[in-house]
Structure 1
């Protein structure tokens, strides 16, 4: 079947289909590559991938394209579901014969709910969906396809047995040729990565049990399955030639450093290719490994610190010790490795005092840049179940974003309200960035090149607009 893979238009500036922890609009406009869509697209010959939000592709333009396809596969999420259903309705109005299915965390954990609430949807592919979608596109009888929930000829919802988790990750083709074919890489931005950048996965799953983290609990699983070193390097060599303008490659995998010997083997080969690269990491990577990574092209680590309070880290099963994280921060500074730190306000156990403690911790570890998010209990996560059981989440906040696609503070606790948690984000940003030494560092960075000057000024304007719009939400 001629297949369209689609990240539909939704909120302006909304990044819904990427591997980012939360689907939302960001403080500074940023878009991640739609790797979850590109992977099955790579399995289906003559398919097409449209990532509408970063390309500013209108619904009318998508509808015009949809007339040429027999099958459409949309990535959906809890915040974007209603808008995705509206897009599907428009697609089917233009092409009534079109079959439409959903993938993504929401479809994985509540396939029946998706189908019941959206009669225009024909099927949902659960959990690890790549080969499920391939078999649908191949025209197989849906009853024979594992991991599929679908509406039969009588309109009844049917569920086939679960698909086994993919063991050999090398069975998945490269995603970068799909990027080359269908995407404008200049449309993808991140405030802490060089532009243009490119991201891809080197494995799936995460052995950590963080209660809030979306992908391991819904699609990827907790067992870390990896592509072989040779498979990764072969794609990187291809991508380097295909995208000479890319200034940085980012390994957007749950934790690239979970398998240290494999990580070191990959980076030594990256060093031979002369590639500048970055990745996610826990704040416990040994100094010796950090040095190997730095010596072979590593520029930046994306580190989820989450909180500066040890009890909160225990509450969310982070498996990180504050003293280890501080030592890690010292090592990265001394080795000249840039760190982008991420933090979350409103996790279980949060109080006025723990907020102050986390801000003080952030200043001490002092990442080059940081992102402060609000705890988001996505369906399918332990945090979601916990929030329902304990009454921390009410129905009014279940969509996790406001009508513009910006994060709200969906959780509240005795002694700490939604509004107080929401306001703590601005307090955090101002306390961290409006310090003389941090301001001096940003000015020094801007002085390095005209491009960096232009970029930081633009981001600064976006950041202050973000703060202003947040205040308007609460007043």
Structure 2
């Protein structure tokens, strides 16, 4: 059986390339790339599948290249992104192997990216589809979610959104990932697994790529065998990578019922919205094992939220965070600074707002003009960013877009202020220490806390 290597290439520091999002890790966390998780089961039906994650394994460029050469794969499927494109391209070209690429930088005009990089063979734009497997088996027609070479031509992907609203995948090869040093600040133990039950997002926030991917979900009957396989391997902790857990109420309740059948319960966290994982759904999520929900607060400016079609308000945020606290579910609020129309004053109000709600953690990101988003199209039209901009990092490691009355230094100052005022105080530290329930959790929180402090002192 021929071998296919899933490769997350070497990077400077801890770089995340996952689910069409690339960035520098703010607290040295890195989770199993859900792109590779979903692909692994499909590939395993026809190929020997091997994983080389140079970031999680801390491999040098030479060591990573040697590992791949030792595997002697038929082809490589590689992750890339805005945050590391030039370095990634140099590495993949050096392999002299057929390469299929996945990444946020490829979402716009992938056929031109292939034309400019003759070493790359194809681009996959949907890691839940079977197109990459069919391509590796020799198909060169009817691959709508890929850009690829056929003879002397480059075939562009179908620009229309998929009309498919459900999808199924074979049970992923989680065993490829469980032994590596993946870590995430909000999981309660290790090893943990990345699980995807919905692809894309049914909402269309103007700054986010997920709504532009379309939306489809797995039948719960397809998810349960994956959960059973994880249980057999002794995995108790799950990170659901759905971008809006709870988007389909009836299906979500069916999934929660299935999760509740496992004894002992899985311990899990997820992303959601305050108008979906709300006071009506949170009690059932808690009973099914949920311990943490990551919500996008983004801004305390309701006008800005409306401009970017977030569809939520301060009142909803307050109500849902209070409901989560009553249920005993921890909350993470993500803040987004630097949207066009944002100001220093509105960011100051967002910081103050985050401190007034019962939020357990915050994550502060800098707005970046992601390819395929309405915000990018508008920013290019208004001359805020050049059309060819292809280097960005939402962690703030460098500033790709300056809008409104911001300077790059002011954005970083506000980010640092938010982290300082939220985290560097005695009540927060005491609350976190009281919440630790295991040695694993103590190790995880200590490691992430040290990384956060180190980044804070560096000004990140």
Fold shared, TM-score > 0.5 on shorter chain: yes
Per-residue deviation, 1:116: 2.7
Q: 1:271 aligns with which of 260, 264, 268?
A: 260
Per-residue deviation, 1:268: 1.7
Which secondary structure does the structure 2 equivalent of 1:457 belong to? helix
Give unmatched runs, 5+ long, in structure 1: 93-97
Q: 2:203 aligns with which of 181, 187, 208?
A: 208
* C-alpha contact (below 8 Å) 1:33/1:198 kept by paired residues: yes
**Greater fraction helix:** 1
Q: 2:284 aligns with which of 269, 277, 292?
A: 292
Q: 1:248 aligns with which of 196, 215, 237?
A: 237
* C-alpha contact (below 8 Å) 2:184/2:444 kept by paired residues: no
Per-residue deviation, 1:231: 1.7
Q: 1:85 aligns with which of 67, 82, 89?
A: 89
Per-residue deviation, 1:395: 7.9
Distance 1:332 1:263 in 2: 17
Distance 2:430 2:41 in 1: 45
* C-alpha contact (below 8 Å) 2:14/2:24 kept by paired residues: yes
Query: Kindly tell me: are residues 108 and 349 of structure 1, through their superposed partners in 2, closer, same or farther at Cα, counting changes over 3 Å?
Result: closer
Higher RCO, 1 vs 2 (CA within 8 Å, ≥6 residues apart): 2
Give unmatched runs, 5+ long, in structure 2: none
> Where do residues 132-281 of structure 1 align in structure 2 (5 Å cutoff)?
132-140=131-139, 142-143=140-141, 145-154=143-152, 156-159=153-156, 161=158, 165=162, 167=164, 169-175=166-172, 178-180=173-175, 182-196=176-190, 197-217=192-212, 220-221=213-214, 223=215, 225-242=216-233, 244=234, 246-273=235-262, 274-281=265-272
Q: CA RMSD in A?
A: 2.5
Counterpart of 2:104? 105
Distance 1:47 1:450 in 2: 33
Distance 1:281 1:52 in 2: 30
* C-alpha contact (below 8 Å) 2:101/2:123 kept by paired residues: yes
Which segments of structure 1 move beyond 6 Å, counting only runs of 4 or more? none
* C-alpha contact (below 8 Å) 2:331/2:361 kept by paired residues: yes
With 406-415 and 247-256 compared, the bigger mean Cα shift is at 406-415
Give the TM-score, by structure 1 length: 0.87
